[in-house]
Amino acid sequence: MFLYTASMSNIVEKVREALSREGSEEVRKSGSRFFKEEVRLHGVKAPRVEKMAKAIFRDIRKEGKGRVFSYCEELLSSGYLEEGFVACHWSYALHGAYAPDDFFVFEGWVDRYVTNWAVCDTLCNHTVGAFLERYPTYVARLLNWARSENRWVRRASAVSLIIPVRKGKFLAEAFSIADSLLLDPEDMVQKGNGWLLKVASQTHQAEVFDFVMNRKARMPRTALRYAIEKMPAELRRRAMER
């Protein structure tokens, strides 16, 4: 059980101490295998990190959104995967209090601190995705992300729409982003783009199939395979034909 109080002088250091104390070399080694790039790991499994994050959040939520967001930024800036997960949990836990200007906070986090697919997807699926559902006019700004020089920002432009698109929202915007990312040279961006189209196909199969068929001659195979993964076998066969 985690025993924390909001009166502690440095909550971020307490998080780091707990993660360091519970970390193991075995988990560090196994976790690093999921990434092509180098990642910093305390060596704590995700369910344990989530349990810790929830326990601490109960004590700090009364400090207010601004203070909690400052904790999130400090945790994200460390580059440690588990600290990033804690930050993602806390920022999403405040989704009921989001305001329009929070978009620029989240945008800064993605640009400055996201350095791997796991933090990118956790932050963008939940925190950014929830923000966009609350303030849909900001979805158009994802097209700027899709043109970023930062590959993680480009991936974020796609994966931020995963949950809204799963609910049937923002199909036109998803296609605009998918077009912008169509020839992206980065594998992780292609996978994010294909994931977005795959999720869109679950509620708009015909539209996604037409989108793919009209671009399959140019579309990288990585994104194409992801996009059609949930379609019937006959549609997959047609999409993969040269």
**pTM exceeding the 0.95 threshold for the entire prediction:** no
89 to 123, 145, 197: CA distances (angstroms): 8, 23, 26
Q: Which residues contact 13 (CB under 8 A, 6 or more apart)?
A: none
CATH topology for the 106-242 domain: Leucine-rich Repeat Variant (1.25.10)
Domain coordinates of the chain in residue numbers? 1-97, 106-242
Q: Are 76 and 40 in contact (CB under 8 A)?
A: no
Of the candidates 217, 219, 222, 198, the one whose C-alpha atom is nearest the C-alpha of residue 208 is: 198
pLDDT tens digits for range 5-60: 444 348 999 999 999 999 999 998 999 999 988 899 999 999 999 999 999 999 89
Of the candidates 89, 90, 86, 91, the one whose C-alpha atom is nearest the C-alpha of residue 107 is: 91
Helix, strand, coil percentages in the chain from 3-state DSSP, rounded to 5:
70, 0, 30
DSSP H helices in 97-183? 102-113, 117-122, 129-134, 142-146, 151-159, 162-166, 171-180
> How far, in Å, CA of 110 to CA of 102, rounded?
13
> How far, in Å, CA of 141 to CA of 7, rounded?
38
pLDDT in tens, the chain (242 residues): 333 444 434 899 999 999 999 999 999 899 999 998 889 999 999 999 999 999 999 989 999 999 999 999 999 999 999 999 999 999 999 999 999 999 999 999 999 999 999 999 999 999 999 999 999 999 999 999 999 999 999 999 999 999 999 999 999 999 999 999 999 999 999 999 999 999 999 999 999 999 999 999 999 999 999 999 999 999 999 999 97
